[in-house]
Amino acid sequence: MAAIKKLSIKQLKLKGKKVFLRLDLNVPLSENGAITDQTRILAALPTIKYIIDQGGHLIISSHLGRPAGKVQPNLSLKPVAHALSSHLGKEVPLAPHYSLGEKVLQMVNSLQKGDVLLLENLRFYKGETQNDPEFAQALAAFGDVYVNDAFGVSHRAHASVCGITQFIKPCAAGFLMGKEIEHLSRLISKPARPFIALLGGAKVSDKLGIIENLMEKFDALLIGGGMAYTFLMAKGFEVGRSIVEKDKLDTTSSIIKSTDIRGIKLELTEDHVIARELKDAAQTTVVNTSDIPEDWLALDIGPRTIELFIKEIMNAKTILWNGPMGVFEIEAFRAGTEAVGRAVAESGAVSVVCGGDTAAAVNSLGLAHKMTHISTGGGAALEFLEGEELPGIAALDDA
């Protein structure tokens, strides 16, 4: 894969310019509409503050949830506007839901240097997800320059992500987008060796593309979580009621053979924390792979596997981590994820964390500041690492 070099926001002259900024502010909300996790807002602040400091007239756009082209008050960006106002120390007004109307255009034109306006949820309009050219052109009319800092939706061919770039120039990457491209590209092109993949989570199908695309780059694959049981069944083991994707057994068998042929170390879960049911108070025990009872579920890696994985982690120079090692949300099944997470943090390796569940685990353990990079794009990061061209990145001007 050739290095991706896109125009950066730092190469733009923003003073006095109307800057149309696409962000991913798709934050989780409680039942009463309160933001429960501000990670995406905090990640966007460096680009926002840079535009303000440069004297730009800032128009922020984002989506929230899946309103399917209809106005849904519970998916309004009003809570985001309040949060941004608090972080920036200045009012960030929210445009009315008729974001393409004359009134909103007047609000845009009345912006002064350093002012910020947040457009209402883009997905209130069918034209957004349909990548409708008229909708994209209407959005472009708000800005003099376009900046995309929404890596998390860069795999979507939507109007505000790629369609708009046909009607406004220049089109540049924000700081977060630039970091995502830099760190993920390095995994594909020039990872420091040994390069290991620490893979978990429920489904092996989510990781197949990464394994196949980066197979020649990996020195070792460490596989835990629910996906390990598809691998173990492919090797002939009985795994009780543990999660298995039986339609992926042939593919998994092929991967096992490929690692053997290529001399790639494949480390699977050797011992398991098991229970009869998935709940907080469940009775648990630790068994070897050959001893999982038929009516029990394996829900975390065991202590011997933890020791094995940590040894590989501490020897690595580059680590890609995608997926918890067990059902991390339940105390009885979080020891594996916590142990390997702390090892990754202390390894001194370049560490790239992908996936919402993995990022949540890292954050809850207080280890985020010790990771080299935590990707904000779940599906986008996976597609990037699978070697796919992402529409939102391809649409930006080359450097």
Contact in structure between 244 and 334 (CB atoms under 8 Å): no
Quick check: 373 pLDDT over 70? yes
Element (H, E) at 330: none
What is the rounded average pLDDT of the residues 175-187? 94
Report d(CA 145, CA 271) in Å as an integer: 55
What is the distance between the alpha carbons of residues 120 and 63, in angstroms, rounded to a whole number? Answer: 8
Q: How confident is the model at residue 337 (pLDDT cuts 50, 70, 90)?
A: very high
pLDDT for 206 equals 86
Judged against a pLDDT cut of 60, whether residue 1 lies above it is answered with no
Q: Quick one: pLDDT at residue 103?
A: 86
Predicted pLDDT of residue 2: 59
What pLDDT, on the 0 to 100 scale, is given for residue 99?
Answer: 61
The stretch 173-197 carries a mean pLDDT of: 94
191-385, CATH topology level: Rossmann fold (3.40.50)
Mean pLDDT of the chain: 94
Q: What are phi and psi of 28, to 5 degrees?
A: -75, 140
Q: Where does the pLDDT of residue 48 fall: very low under 50, low under 70, confident under 90, or very high at 90 and above?
A: very high
pTM: 0.89
Among 25-39, 95-109, 220-234, 352-366, name the one with the lowest average pLDDT. 95-109
Structural element, H or E, at residue 183: helix 175-189
pLDDT tens, position by position, 203-236: 899 899 899 999 989 999 999 999 999 999 999 9
Handedness of CA 92, 96, 99, 101 (dihedral sign): negative
- pLDDT digits 0-9 by tens, 131-175: 999 999 999 999 999 999 999 999 999 999 999 999 999 999 999
Q: What is the pLDDT of residue 293?
A: 96
Distances, alpha carbon 95 to alpha carbons 58, 107, 150, 175, in Å: 13, 8, 20, 25
pLDDT band (50, 70, 90) for residue 328: very high
The domain locations on the chain are 9-178, 191-385
The residues, ordered by sequence, that sit 6+ positions from 239 with a Cβ below 8 Å of its Cβ are 229, 232, 233, 292, 298
Work out the average pLDDT over 271-275.
97
**Residue 39 pLDDT grade (very low, low, confident, very high; cuts 50, 70, 90):** confident
Per DSSP, what are the bridge partners of residue 373? 352
Catalytic residues: 40, 203, 356, 379
* Average pLDDT score over residue span 243-257: 95
DSSP 8-state code for residue 232: H
Q: What is the pLDDT of residue 44?
A: 96
Report the share of the chain in percent with pLDDT over 90. Answer: 86
Q: Decide if 9-178 and 191-385 have a common fold.
A: yes
- 282-312 pLDDT, tens digit per residue, is 899 999 999 999 999 999 999 999 999 999 9
CATH topology of domain 9-178: Rossmann fold (3.40.50)
